[in-house]
């Protein structure tokens, strides 16, 4: 089910809004428009849909408009144009009271610098959304304590935000949003202010939490690694425009333009690419049918020193090297079957490259990639190393 | 050659001001009399009440308050006891209580008016742009000038003194309230709004608590300014330490002038430290 639908939403700050929008249509850049009209284009013509239970990451560098875009969703910033549907209702046309109702019950937010009220205790902070909604004192205390307990922070409920570490404060920020029990959580650079170790921990927690809670999460970040780690889908923004939306793999393997390409250059591919992404088409023979001559011929054709033995039903039987085939021919075998080496390493197709690496480095032979019990492809040491070093566009062409 | 600047007739601003004043006093005299009478009688009874408490009890009460307000330190408490005993010893106790009443009324009314005005300023750019020059005007106009309309509206005595003091001392409360609310971090405002707070929920749960220490600094300034008006207000018959100073000045009598002035200084230090410590209480 589509939870959030954003249609052609734009935000221009300053005056001469219409003129600025025209200039964007003409393809002028953000800085040119600022010079010509004095207006800043925050977001231009953004459209996307977010499904229920999805983590949708909006990624971009500072000034790309990602924080503006997320604030348009709950109208902390008023959109200049476009429609925003949450659960089918057009938020952009709501009056103040309807909007408050949406904010109270459907959409909550987690902030980069935690947004905790320094003069209130952790418990009071967690209760805030419920209090604003008019939930009776006793009930909101129970709910807030439950949320804190889930976050492992119940012991700290009477402390003040300053007394907690950054990671703990952000857990409170998240608990506050979850205590309200809304379906949608907006997270604006929620982990960006945390140090790298804590950040990774929080990412893991979020993923785990998401498995239990099934919230719809819009997550803003400037860190592509973070986006790839937690995002079901990623939207990449530049100068207020969304330039690509897709899964992490889509973006790595088919970057929409040079900008995205420059982004993914620094990515640790081993953490994103799977065996399937880099495997090559195997050269196969059917040992039940083919004899050693056929095998040698295939090797010559394809210029390889090894072929995989596969049954009619594409089941993997093993592999045959050139030496095996020659020996087989000398022994006068008609069929290859007795000469097949049955010991072969296999990996599942969705195994991350980082886990493939140790397997392939220990394996004297190529590694077969299996999908649903069938042979899908083969990994050769050279290919794997190439994939780690290569431009992604070339990796893509290997498919 | 005639200076052409002299050819421009003088703008009768003084005359207009007088006319406006006359109009107001003529048409609203009953209203002003009403305020004058109620406030006067209220202030007299407060002063009477303060004087009803024996001086030694009052001194002990203030010392105890000072002791606890300064986190159980003896400094201010001891200073208060010695200072107030000195004032009593110099026969200035009744004058001091009159001054206390004047400062108290001026400060309370300033806060009651000033904080809401400051809030409005922080919420509306229009109100802010209207109020800013008015506040500048109020603060730069010499305090003596306010005595003239004060007398015209309320005659002489304590009430016009309070009126002049309020005009002179209210700007810091307004300015600091405005500033304090504007200084609340944007993220906290957004956090409050993102949970669906109404304007007043945001104001009372987030903005005012977080602006509190800034507002308190403004109130402290207001109290001190009200105190500084005491001598000026005595020119229109407001009783108190200020009147003693004024009399001494008029007679060129150095001794009593110094003593009464010292009394004012002691009182000023005590209330300054007290209001500041209320602010620091919560760190």
* Residue span of the structural domain in which A224 resides: 2-106+182-267
Residue A389: pLDDT over 80: no
Question: Min CA distance, B194 vs chain A (Å)?
Answer: 6
Confidence band of B116 (pLDDT split at 50, 70, 90)? very high
Are residues A256 and A383 located together in one domain of the fold? Answer: no
What local confidence, expressed as pLDDT, does residue A394 receive?
45
- Examine residue A146 and state whether it is found in any structural domain, yes or no: no
Q: What does the DSSP 8-state code read for residue A280?
A: B
Are residues A84 and A188 located together in one domain of the fold? Answer: yes
C-beta atoms of A119 and B210 within 8 A = yes
A67 chain-B contacts, CB cut-off 8 A:
none
Final residue of a structural domain among A245, A267, A289: A267
Final residue of a structural domain among A267, A287, A316: A267
B197 chain-A contacts, CB cut-off 8 A:
100, 132
Within an 8 Å CB–CB cutoff, is residue B214 touching chain A?
Answer: no
Residue pair B69/B266 in contact (Cβ under 8 Å)? The answer is no
Confidence band of A272 (pLDDT split at 50, 70, 90)? confident
Are residues A311 and A338 located together in one domain of the fold? Answer: yes
Are residues A391 and A300 located together in one domain of the fold? Answer: yes
Residue in A76, A117, A133 closest to B194 by CB: A76
pLDDT digits (tens, 9 = 90+) for A241-254: 899 999 888 888 88
- Mean residue pLDDT across chain B: 87
C-beta atoms of B193 and A76 within 8 A = yes
Q: Map tokens 């109130």 to a residue.
A: B219
CATH number, position A88: 3.40.50.300
What local confidence, expressed as pLDDT, does residue B283 receive?
40
Final residue of a structural domain among A232, A267, A302: A267
CATH number, position A391: 3.10.580.10
Probe site for chain B from A86, A132, A169 (most B CB atoms < 10 A): A132
Residue in A99, A107, A111 closest to B191 by CB: A111
pLDDT digits (tens, 9 = 90+) for A66-88: 999 999 999 999 888 889 999 88
Are residues A280 and A318 located together in one domain of the fold? Answer: yes
In whole angstroms, what is the distance from residue B278 CA to residue A224 CA?
49
Probe site for chain A from B184, B187, B188, B195 (most A CB atoms < 10 A): B195
Q: Map tokens 């090559």 to a residue.
A: A280
Confidence band of B281 (pLDDT split at 50, 70, 90)? low
In whole angstroms, what is the distance from residue A156 CA to residue A166 CA?
14
Which of A108-122, A384-398, B35-49 shows the lowest mean pLDDT across its residues?
A384-398
What local confidence, expressed as pLDDT, does residue B113 receive?
95
- Mean residue pLDDT across chain A: 85
What local confidence, expressed as pLDDT, does residue B181 receive?
94
Residue B203: pLDDT over 90: yes
- Alpha helices (runs of H) in B53-157, residue ranges in sequence order: 55-69, 75-89, 93-123, 125-140, 147-154
C-beta atoms of A71 and B188 within 8 A = no
Q: Give the total number of structural domains in chain A.
A: 2
pLDDT digits (tens, 9 = 90+) for B229-258: 888 888 888 788 888 888 888 888 888 889
CA nearest A132 in B: which residue?
B197
Are residues A234 and A260 located together in one domain of the fold? Answer: yes
What local confidence, expressed as pLDDT, does residue B8 receive?
83
Residue B216: pLDDT over 80: yes
Mean pLDDT (whole number) for A290-299: 83
- Examine residue A160 and state whether it is found in any structural domain, yes or no: no
Confidence band of A28 (pLDDT split at 50, 70, 90)? confident
- Examine residue A369 and state whether it is found in any structural domain, yes or no: yes
Q: What interhelical angle do A137-150 and A166-179 show, nearest 10?
A: 130
List the 61-100 stretch of A: residues with Cβ below 8 A of B.
Answer: 71, 74, 76, 99-100
B210 chain-A contacts, CB cut-off 8 A:
117-119
pLDDT digits (tens, 9 = 90+) for B161-202: 888 889 989 999 999 999 999 999 999 999 999 998 998 999
Max Cα–Cα distance, chain A, nearest Å: 89
Within an 8 Å CB–CB cutoff, is residue B191 touching chain A?
Answer: yes
Q: What does the DSSP 8-state code read for residue A75?
A: T
What local confidence, expressed as pLDDT, does residue A397 receive?
43
Are residues A258 and A289 located together in one domain of the fold? Answer: no
pLDDT digits (tens, 9 = 90+) for A97-110: 999 999 998 899 99
Probe site for chain B from A115, A129, A186 (most B CB atoms < 10 A): A115
Mean pLDDT (whole number) for A46-54: 91
Confidence band of A45 (pLDDT split at 50, 70, 90)? confident
Residue in A116, A118, A129 closest to B195 by CB: A129
What local confidence, expressed as pLDDT, does residue A395 receive?
43
- Examine residue A237 and state whether it is found in any structural domain, yes or no: yes
C-beta atoms of B209 and A113 within 8 A = no
In whole angstroms, what is the distance from residue A271 CA to residue B246 CA?
84
What is the C-alpha radius of gyration for chain B, rounded to an integer number of angstroms? Answer: 22
What local confidence, expressed as pLDDT, does residue A235 receive?
93
- Examine residue A136 and state whether it is found in any structural domain, yes or no: no
Residue in B194, B198, B210 closest to A108 by CB: B194
Are residues A74 and A217 located together in one domain of the fold? Answer: yes
Are residues A226 and A340 located together in one domain of the fold? Answer: no
- Examine residue A231 and state whether it is found in any structural domain, yes or no: yes
Domains and CATH numbers, chain B: 32-280 (1.10.3720.10)
Q: CA-CA distances (angstroms) from residue A318 to A278, A334, A338, A367, B269?
A: 21, 18, 11, 10, 95
Q: CA-CA distances (angstroms) from residue B81 to A281, B103, B241, B276?
A: 96, 20, 18, 19
- Examine residue A308 and state whether it is found in any structural domain, yes or no: yes
Residue in B185, B191, B196 closest to A100 by CB: B196
> Could you tell me if the ipTM is greater than 0.90?
no
B201 chain-A contacts, CB cut-off 8 A:
132
Mean pLDDT (whole number) for A272-298: 81
Probe site for chain B from A117, A144, A188 (most B CB atoms < 10 A): A117
Probe site for chain B from A121, A129, A130 (most B CB atoms < 10 A): A129
Confidence band of A398 (pLDDT split at 50, 70, 90)? very low
Within an 8 Å CB–CB cutoff, is residue B190 touching chain A?
Answer: yes
Residue in A99, A101, A117 closest to B206 by CB: A117
Structure-block tokens of residue A53: 């239970």
pLDDT digits (tens, 9 = 90+) for B56-103: 888 889 888 888 888 878 888 889 889 988 988 888 888 888 888 889
What local confidence, expressed as pLDDT, does residue A290 receive?
82
Residue A392: pLDDT over 60: no
Are residues A312 and A366 located together in one domain of the fold? Answer: yes
SS3 A333: coil
- Examine residue A174 and state whether it is found in any structural domain, yes or no: no
pLDDT digits (tens, 9 = 90+) for A362-376: 877 788 888 887 888
Strand order in the sheet with A89-90: A40-51, A2-13, A81-86, A89-90
Q: For residue A341, what are the β-bridge partners?
A: A319
Are residues A343 and A204 located together in one domain of the fold? Answer: no
CA nearest B189 in A: which residue?
A115
Residue in B188, B194, B209 closest to A109 by CB: B194
Residue A393: pLDDT over 70: no
In whole angstroms, what is the distance from residue B88 CA to residue B172 CA?
32
DSSP string of B22-47, one letter each residue: HHHHHHHHHHHHHHHHHHHHHHHHHH
Residue B213: pLDDT over 50: yes
Question: Min CA distance, A116 vs chain B (Å)?
Answer: 7
Are residues A252 and A293 located together in one domain of the fold? Answer: no
Confidence band of B2 (pLDDT split at 50, 70, 90)? low
What local confidence, expressed as pLDDT, does residue B1 receive?
58
């Amino acid at each position: 089910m589509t939870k959030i639908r954003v249609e052609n939403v734009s935000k221009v700050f300053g005056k001469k809004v219409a003129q600025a929008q025209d200039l964007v249509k003409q393809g002028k850049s953000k800085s040119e428009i600022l010079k010509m009209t004095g207006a800043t284009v925050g977001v231009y013509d953004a459209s996307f849909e977010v499904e229920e239970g999805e983590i949708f990451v909006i990624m971009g560098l500072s000034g790309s408009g990602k924080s503006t875009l997320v604030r348009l969703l709950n109208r902390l910033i008023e959109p200049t144009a476009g429609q925003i549907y949450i659960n089918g209702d057009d938020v952009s046309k709501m009056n103040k009271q309807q909007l408050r109702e949406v904010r109270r019950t459907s959409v909550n937010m987690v902030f980069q610098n935690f947004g905790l009220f320094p003069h209130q205790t952790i418990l009071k902070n967690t209760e805030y959304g419920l209090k604003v909604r008019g939930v009776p004192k006793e009930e909101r205390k129970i709910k807030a304590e439950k949320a804190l307990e889930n976050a492992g922070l119940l012991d700290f409920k009477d402390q003040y935000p300053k007394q907690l570490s950054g990671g703990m404060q952000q857990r409170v920020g998240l608990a506050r949003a979850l205590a309200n029990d809304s379906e949608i959580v907006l997270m604006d650079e929620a982990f960006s202010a945390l140090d790298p170790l804590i950040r990774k921990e929080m990412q893991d927690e979020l993923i785990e939490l998401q498995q239990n809670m099934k919230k719809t999460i819009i997550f803003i970040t400037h860190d592509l690694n973070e986006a790839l780690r937690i995002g079901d889908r990623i939207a990449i923004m530049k100068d207020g425009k969304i330039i690509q939306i897709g899964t992490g793999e889509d973006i790595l393997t088919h970057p929409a333009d040079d900008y995205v390409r420059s982004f993914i250059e620094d990515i640790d591919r081993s953490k994103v690419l799977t065996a399937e992404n880099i495997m090559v088409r195997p050269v196969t023979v059917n040992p039940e049918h083919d004899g050693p001559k056929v095998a040698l011929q295939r090797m010559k054709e394809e210029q390889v020193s090894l072929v995989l033995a596969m049954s009619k039903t594409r089941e993997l039987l093993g592999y045959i090297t050139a030496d095996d085939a020659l020996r087989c021919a000398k022994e006068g075998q008609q069929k290859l079957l007795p000469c097949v080496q049955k010991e072969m390493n296999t990996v599942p197709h969705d195994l991350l490259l980082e886990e493939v690496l140790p397997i392939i480095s220990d394996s004297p032979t190529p590694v077969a990639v299996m999908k649903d019990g069938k042979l899908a492809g083969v990994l050769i040491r050279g290919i794997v190393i190439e994939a780690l070093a290569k431009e992604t566009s070339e990796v893509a062409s290997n498919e | 050659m005639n200076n052409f600047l002299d050819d421009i007739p003088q703008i009768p601003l003084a005359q207009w001001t007088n006319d406006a004043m006359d109009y107001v006093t003529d048409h609203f005299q009953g209203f002003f009399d009403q305020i004058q009478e109620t406030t006067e009688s209220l202030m007299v009874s407060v002063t009477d009440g303060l004087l009803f408490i024996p001086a030694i009890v009052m001194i002990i009460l203030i010392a105890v308050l000072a002791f606890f307000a300064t986190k159980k330190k003896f400094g201010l408490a001891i200073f208060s006891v010695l200072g107030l005993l000195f004032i009593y010893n110099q026969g200035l106790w009744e004058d001091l209580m009159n001054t206390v009443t004047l400062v108290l009324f001026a400060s309370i009314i300033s806060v009651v008016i000033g904080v809401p005005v400051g809030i409005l300023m922080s919420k509306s750019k229009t109100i802010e742009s209207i109020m800013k020059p008015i506040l500048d005007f109020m603060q730069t106009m010499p305090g003596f000038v306010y005595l003239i309309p004060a007398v015209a509206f309320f005659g002489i005595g304590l009430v016009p003194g309070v009126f002049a003091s309020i005009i002179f001392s209210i700007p810091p409360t307004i300015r600091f309230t405005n500033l304090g609310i504007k200084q609340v971090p944007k993220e906290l405002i957004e956090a409050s709004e993102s949970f669906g707070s109404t304007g007043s929920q945001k104001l009372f749960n987030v903005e005012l608590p977080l602006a509190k220490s800034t507002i308190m600094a403004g109130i402290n300034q207001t109290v001190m300014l009200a105190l500084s008006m005491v001598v000026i207000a005595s020119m229109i018959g407001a009783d108190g330490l200020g009147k003693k100073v004024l009399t001494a000045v008029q007679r060129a009598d150095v001794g009593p002038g110094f003593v009464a002035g010292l009394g004012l200084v002691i009182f000023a230090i005590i209330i300054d430290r007290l209001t500041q410590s209320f602010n620091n209480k919560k760190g």
